[in-house]
Chain A
C-alpha cells in the first residue's frame, strides 16, 4: 500500500520535470515593502540568489568576496545579486545595521521563517542559485569555500 502511494506521488513528478524557476513567496525588503519572489527579474540579464545569515561566517565571507567583484561582474554580465537572509527573529534586527556597515549593494530580502529557503530546497546556508535571463535556475552551489567566486564568475560568463 505504501509503495503504491509512493509511486502515485512520485511518478507524475518524474514525467513533468523541467527546468526550475523561482517559486512565489512574499518576503519583505529592508524597507518593509512586500516583494513577490516569483516576480524577481533583471531585464533579461542573469541573477544570483544567495541565501545567508548574520550568524553564518562562510555566508558573510562569500557575500563580502562577491562585493569586491560585484562592479566588474555587473559591467561584464549585467548580473543582479539578491541576498536573502534566513535570520529569524533572534538575529534579524542585526541585518540592516550589518549590511550598512559592510556597504553591500545587493537587493536584500528577509526570509524570517525560511519559507522561501524551503521552497527553493535550501538545506544549510550559504546556498547560491544562478538564474539565466529568463529566470530559470541554471546552476547552484551549496556552501562557500574561498575561491568559489571564480566558478561563479565562470558560470556567469557562460550566460553572456
Chain B
C-alpha cells in the first residue's frame, strides 16, 4: 500500500510539474491508453464437456492509462475479474490495480520503478510480457535501469519480484529476479566499420533468481534446495548483404524444480537462425535444442506461472481454424531438439505462374524430437535424472509440421488462398487431447475465397478439411464472412467433427459474430461454441479461450 501511495505521489507530482511548466516548454503532457471488456455467458453442453461455472457468466476487463510528459511517464492498469472467464487462471479475482510504474527516459538513461516488461536477447535468458487475451502476465515489479553510453552499447539491469496472481490487487511470487544484459553493435563502435558490409553485434546476459532454500524428501533422499539459481547466456548477430544470422546459447546451473522433478542437472539451450532474402524471395532456417531449461522465480510453479525465460516453439504459428486449434505445438521445456525452415517466393507479375498480379507461395517445414539422452539409474537418477549425449534428435518424435500456402489475386474482384498442412503430432508430450495418446497423423486443406461485391462490400468464405484416423477423426470447417468497410462485419463459423468414431460426439461448433469498428474502438458480439486458438475473424486476430454461449468483447484505444 505504501508503495502504491509512493507511486501515486510521484505520478501526480509529474502531472503538476507538467501543468506548471506547460507555458515554458513546447513539450505537452499527454494521456494515452486502452481498455478491454470481455463478457461471457455460459451454456451447459454435455456433448463437448462444457461445464457451466456456478456464476453462469464471467467478465474480464482492464484499462491502461499512460501519462507522458517529455522524458517522464507513469502508467497504471486497473483490472477486474468478476469472475475470471474460463481459460484464465480461475484464482484471478476482484478489481484493483494490476500494474503501475513510473519511468524516466532520455537518450542516456532509462529508469523504471514499479512494473515493467523486458526481454534480453531472444528471451532465452529473460522475457516478461503481457498477453491479456490469454491471462499471461509475468511482469517484473522492482527497478529497471537501462544505460546507453553510446549508440553502440545498451546496458540493462533489472531487479524485482514477478507477478503471480491477482486478488483485488497485484500479487507477486516469492522469488526475486536479478539480471544484467549488455549488447554491443560493433559497427557503431568504430567509425571505420560503420560502412562495412558485415554488421556484427554481440550480447551477454546474466540472470539469477533468489528463493529461500528448503529441503524436500524425494525417494527417501533428503534434498537441500538452493537459495540462488543463475543462468548465463551469450548471443551474436551477423548481417552480410542478403544474409543474416542470429544465435544464442544459455547455461543454467543447479535448478531443482517442479518442471524437472527436482533434479540438480544443469540446463542449457541453443537457438540459431539463418536467413537469406532478396526481392521476391525469402528463406529462413532455424535450429535449436532445449535441455532442462524451465526457469521460474518460484521452483514450485508450473504452466504459465512466473516464467523468467521464454522458449517459443519452432513450429509456425497457424491461423486457419483447423490448423490452429486442434494440434498446436508447444515447446517441451525439459528437453527437445528441433529444426525448421521457411521459404517465401513471389512469382513476378506477367510471368507464366505470376499472371497479372503475381502469385505468392510460402512453404514451411518443422521437425522436433526428444533430446538424445540416457536415463540414469539408482541414486544418480534421483539427483541428476539423465545424461545428455548430444544436442541432436533423440528417438521420440514430438512433432512434424509441413505446410504450403499459395495466394493468388485472380482479378480486381476475386482473390484466392489455398493451404495444405501435414502434421505428425505426439499427444503424449503435448497433451492437447484426452481421446488419444500417441502420434496423430493429419492432413488439413484450406480454400479461402474473397470476392468484392461492390466498393467497400466484400464477402469471404473458407472451407477447411482435416483428415485423420487417430484422436477425434475427421473435421470440417466452413466460414462465411461479410464485411462492409469501414464499420461492419458479420461472420458465421462451423467447425464440425463429422468423423468422430463415437456418433454422439459428431459435434458442430457453430459460432456467429457481429463486429462494429470505429476509430480505435471495436465491439464484437458472438454466440455459440468455439474451440480455443487464434481467431482471425472480421479483420482482427485474437487468441481466444474455448467458449460456449454469449460473448461480448469491447476494445478501445485512445
**Residues 284-297 of chain B: 1 if any A CB is under 8 Å from the residue's CB, otherwise 0?**
10100000000000
Cβ of A137 to closest chain B Cβ, rounded Å: 9
In angstroms, how far is the closest chain B Cβ from the Cβ of A80?
20
Interface flags for A129-160 (1: CB within 8 Å of B; 0: not) read 00000000001111111111011000000000
State whether the Cβ of B49 lies closer than 8 Å to any Cβ in chain A: no
Task: Give the chain B neighbours of A9 by CB distance below 8 A.
Answer: 8, 11-12, 65, 76
A34 interfacial by beta-carbon distance below 8 Å: yes
Taking A126-B539, A146-B452, A146-B485 as contacts, is the C-beta distance between A55 and B534 under 8 angstroms? yes
Find out whether the CB atom of B32 lies under 8 angstroms from the CB atom of A143: no
Say which residue of B362, B456, B484, B540 sits within 8 Å of A150 (CB atoms): B456
* Interface presence of B275 (CB below 8 A): yes
Q: In chain B, residues 99-152, which have Cβ atoms closer than 8 Å to a Cβ of chain A? A: 105, 107, 110, 117-119, 122-123, 127, 129-130, 132-133, 148, 151
| Complexed CA–CA distance, A34 and B183 (Å) | 12
Residue on B nearest A36 in the bound complex, by CB: B107
Q: Which A residue sits closest to B482, measured CB to CB? A: A145
B521 at the A interface (CB under 8 A): yes
Interface 0/1 of B273-286, CB less than 8 Å to A: 10111111111101
**Chain A residues near B558 (CB-CB < 8 A):** 20, 121
Interface residues of B in 320-370 (CB under 8 A from A): 342-346, 360, 362
Q: How many Å lie between the Cα of A126 and that of B199 in the bound state?
A: 31
Q: Are A89 and B539 in contact (CB under 8 A)?
A: no
Known pairs A34-B151, A101-B277, A123-B36; A56 contacts B319 (CB<8 A):
yes
* CB contact under 8 A between A121 and B8, given known A31-B199, A91-B317: no
Within 8 A of B (CB), among A96-122: 96-103, 112-115, 118-122
Within residues 543 to 558 of chain B, which ones have a CB less than 8 A from any CB in chain A?
Answer: 555-558
Chain A's closest residue to B18 (CB) is A16
**Once bound together, how far apart are the Cα atoms of A151 and B486, in whole Å?**
7
Contacts of A101 in B (CB 8 A): 277, 280-282, 344-346, 360, 362
Specify which of B34, B279, B541 is in contact with A100 (CB 8 Å cutoff): B279
Given A98-B282, A101-B344, A120 contacting B32 (CB threshold 8 A): yes
A15, A54, A124: the one contacting B540 at CB < 8 Å is A124
Name the residue on A nearest B487 (C-beta).
A145
Is B260 part of the binding interface, using a Cβ–Cβ cutoff of 8 Å? no
Question: Is B542 touching A31 in the complex (CB atoms < 8 A)?
Answer: no
Of B32, B78, B129, B319, which one neighbours A55 at CB under 8 angstroms?
B319
A151 to B456, CA, bound (A): 10
CA distance A144 to B278 in the complex (A): 28
On whether the beta carbons of A150 and B455 are closer than 8 Å, the reply is yes
Contact of A94 with B65 in the complex, beta carbons under 8 Å: no
Knowing A34-B151, A97-B344, say if A17 contacts B539 (CB, 8 Å).
no
For the complex, is B503 an interface residue (Cβ under 8 Å from A)? no
Contact A123 B555 (CB under 8 A): yes
Q: Are A13 and B557 in contact (CB under 8 A)?
A: no
A3 → chain B closest CB, angstroms = 11
Chain B residues positioned under 8 Å from A8 (CB to CB):
8, 12
Shortest CB–CB separation between residue B202 and chain A, in angstroms?
12
**8 A Cβ contacts from A45-87 to B:** 53-59
B312 within 8 A of A: yes
Stretch from B23-31, B208-216, B494-502 forming part of the interface with A: B23-31
A127 touches B538 (CB 8 A): no
Do A93 and B246 form a contact, CB below 8 Å, given A8-B12, A101-B281, A103-B280? yes
CA distance A119 to B456 in the complex (A): 31
B162 within 8 A of A: no
* Chain A residues positioned under 8 Å from B318 (CB to CB): 55
B393 smallest CB distance to A (angstroms): 21
How far is it, in angstroms, between the C-alpha of A15 and the C-alpha of B485 when the chains are bound? Answer: 35
CB of B520 closer than 8 Å to a CB of A: yes
Task: Give the shortest distance, in Å, between B188 (CB) and chain A (any CB).
Answer: 8
* Contact segment of B66-74, B85-93, B174-182, B300-308: B66-74
Distance to closest chain B CB from A127 (angstroms): 7
Tell me the residues in window 360-401 of chain B with beta carbons closer than 8 Å to chain A beta carbons: 360, 362
Chain B, residues 29-55, CB within 8 Å of chain A (1/0): the string is 111111010000000000000000000
Contact of B31 among A16, A58, A113, A124 (CB under 8 A): A16
- Contact yes or no, A20 B32, CB < 8 A: yes
Interface contact B130-A114, CB-CB below 8 Å: yes
A139 and B539 in contact (CB under 8 A), knowing A18-B28, A113-B127, A121-B557? no
A147 and B456 contact, CB distance less than 8 A: yes
For B314, the chain A residues whose CB sits under 8 A away are 90
- B216 CB to nearest chain A CB (Å): 33
In the assembly, what is the distance between CA of A53 and CA of B348, in Å?
A: 24
Would B275 and A125 count as touching, CB distance under 8 A?
Answer: no
Tell me if B96 counts as interface (CB < 8 A to partner A): yes
* Bound form: Cα–Cα A19–B148 in Å: 30
**Are B312 and A122 in touch, CB under 8 angstroms?**
no
* Chain A residue with Cβ nearest B128: A113
CB neighbours of A15 from chain B (8 A): 19
Task: Jot down 24 A-B pairs with beta carbons below 8 A, ordered by A.
Answer: A5-B4, A9-B76, A15-B19, A18-B29, A19-B30, A20-B558, A21-B30, A54-B317, A55-B318, A88-B312, A91-B317, A97-B343, A102-B360, A121-B66, A123-B36, A140-B519, A142-B555, A145-B458, A145-B486, A146-B450, A146-B483, A147-B452, A147-B457, A147-B458
Given contacts A2-B96, A26-B110, 11 further A-B contacts (CB under 8 A): A17-B30, A23-B68, A36-B107, A55-B534, A100-B277, A100-B280, A103-B346, A115-B117, A125-B541, A142-B522, A146-B452
